[in-house]
Amino acid sequence: MPATPRLLVLEGPHVSSAAAREAASGFVAGVCPWADVEAVVLVVAELVANASRHTEGPWRLSLWAYHGELRVGVEDTSSAPPVPRAPDLAGGGGFGWHLVQKLAGGVSVLPLPEGKRVEARWRRGSSEVA
């Protein structure tokens, strides 16, 4: 892990969710090789998809690494926090928020003046990171 913070920022809707996943994968592999790349990319995919589907306006994805910690944050224009739903096996969704909470070492929802930031965290060496 570098001694200085590393940051990657992407903004939607002009960035596709596929591009966000690819950028996150490269960032984690290059900066946080200790992290479970697949888990982080899945969290990125879910947070970006939720911001795209359930909010109006742009979203911003940021990945931040410093001193053995990785943070993934998605800011959007809705002040409503994510709401867990019962998974719908018939294709109606409801899995994303549960996956985010299961895969990340910690999750928080932070209010912003014009929306919110959903943030997932992992620490090097923690039992939550495979």
For the stretch 12-55, pLDDT in tens is 777 888 899 999 999 999 999 999 999 999 999 999 998 988 88
Classified as helix, coil or strand, 25 is helix
The confidence score (pLDDT) of residue 130 equals 35
* Rounded-to-integer distance, Cα 121 and Cα 53, Å: 23
The confidence score (pLDDT) of residue 3 equals 59
Taking all residues of the chain, what is their mean pLDDT, rounded to a whole number?
Answer: 88
- Judged against a pLDDT cut of 80, whether residue 80 lies above it is answered with yes
* Rounded-to-integer distance, Cα 24 and Cα 79, Å: 25
